[in-house]
Amino acid sequence: MDTLTFDLCVIGAGSAGLTLASGAAQTGVRTVLIEGGEMGGDCLNYGCVPSKALIKAAAEHHAGADVSYETAMGRIADAIDAIAPHDSQERFEGLGVTVLRGWARFISREEVEVALPEGTRRIRARRFAVATGSSPAVPPVEGLRDVPYLTNESLFARERLETASLPGHLLVLGGGPIGIEMAQAHRRLGSEVTVLQAGKALPREEPELRAVVLAALRAEGIDIREDTTATRVRQDGEEIVVETEAGEVRGTHLLVATGRKPNMDRLDLEKAGVEVSKAGIVVDDSLRSVTHRGLFALGDMAGRGQFTHLAGYHGGVALRRIAFGLPSKATAPIPRATFTAPELAHVGLTEAEARERHGSRLTVLTLPFERNDRAQAERATEGLIKVMVAGGRPVGAGIVGPGAGDQIGYWQLAIGQKMKLSAMAGAVFPYPTRSEIHKSVAGSYFGPKLFESNLVKRSVGAIQRLLP
């Protein structure tokens, strides 16, 4: 068996793997990229791209446009096809990356074997990066595996995009971002939708922010049942029945959206001496394995969140260390967004987390969208912004309302760069835009200190008497 030798072996061609492989190869690192599934990973093929295409089509239908479910599926396929060349094997080979399309498994700390159509190849490398992503986690509910169910992977599988018809009544098991986004999209396209969540829906989010989203979805006719645990699933003719302690729910289709698990079963990581947990490979802040210093875990495999933008960021962190030998740590605050209408986004600490860390030093600022002139002009005043401040610096921020996912970037920059809140209060934004709400909420921190202080008033009075 031939052994190919490289400086860097990247396993997984999603956002993290592609970022690292392209950068490394172009800087002169001999790089091999191994992918057993689709180039572009989950985000391109089953996650971000198809889901946002569906959400957009559903929004147009909700606004009165003639967009059918079949049309929406066609748009999804078109979007994937338009982006795929950027992530393709041909493009990366053109950048100098050796691309092998097969499943890799470790046989030692320095070697992996790859099952290729033409036979097994052995790869030896000085550095490894494991960026194999994650897959839908299917809960151990009695009977679930005996009925047909969808996950985000099968929902957007190519063969389904070409043949799927609108579900009559979609049951969604799981009230996290994926379940909630798909619930609203299908409801807007005409499905009846019931969401079953064992705890609170959108459980990571600030209570007053998630309440705005859930109220909007319920107003559109989505049945969201919180604190409702599925105990058994069964087929009854053409219906799927989910049994709960509160009774049974019937539908035509079932979407399982109860979380994700890291893809590490095929890798034989124990043969490389790599410590793992349920969340993925155990790493330090530089994303290096704590038991194999020549191996990096990126994206979902690093156990620090499951976002495409986080994976791309991890690729850049690893590139600086591997290609240039520079100290590099993955410590930036990572924003998250749920693309419902209204959108919900957050970065940094929640109020509860900030109170635990900063105690009495914490100030919480809130401002409703109705205080923003652009929101009033467009009659889109639903929503609010919430900012956690400690020591005059923002440590967390959440937004619910139109464009929240686009707007949260201001606060990622402010928190990540440890900027003072005065920088946001002193910024100049074009009028009228929603971005002005960031200046307004930051200014509300200083208003009482300036306008309600007797000391300030006495000082200004003295200055006025001295001025010519």
- Binding residues for NAD(+), by number, are 174-181, 259
Q: Let me know the angle formed at the C-alpha of 331 by 274 and 285, rounded to the nearest 5 degrees.
A: 25
Q: What does R_g of the chain's alpha carbons equal in angstroms?
A: 25
Q: Are 225 and 194 in contact (CB under 8 A)?
A: yes
CA angle (379, 381, 384) in 5-degree steps = 165
Q: Which residues are annotated as a binding site for FAD?
A: 52, 132-134, 300
Contacts of residue 219, defined as CB under 8 A and 6 or more positions apart, other chains included, come to none
257, 178 Cβ separation under 8 angstroms: yes
Place of tokens 């490289």: 6
Give CA–CA dist 340/403, Å, rounded: 10
Alpha carbon distance 195, 397 (integer Å): 27
Quick one: which of 348, 405, 406, 14 has its CA closest to 181? 405
In contact, 396 and 388? CB cutoff 8 Å: yes
Measure the CA–CA gap between 254 and 17, rounded to whole angstroms.
32
Q: The tokens of 3 are what?
A: 């052994």
Contact 213, 183 (CB under 8 A): no
Numbered residues of the known binding site = 52, 132-134, 174-181, 259, 300
Dihedral pair phi/psi, residue 71, rounded to 5°: -65, -40
Strand 192-196 relative to strand 223-225: parallel, antiparallel, unpaired?
parallel
CA distance 280 to 264: 7
Task: Say whether 462 sits in a helix, a strand or coil.
Answer: helix
The three-point CA angle 186-192-194 to 5° equals 90
Residues 6+ apart with CB under 8 A from 89: 39, 99, 101
d(CA 95, CA 328): 24
Helix runs in 191-264, H state only: 207-219
- Contact at 8 Å (CB) between 52 and 338? no
Contacts of 424 (CB under 8 A, 6+ apart): 394, 410, 414, 438, 439, 442
DSSP 39: T
Nearest alpha-carbon partner for 6 in 33, 30, 38, 34: 30
40 Cβ contact list (under 8 Å, min separation 6) = 13, 14, 18, 83, 84, 87
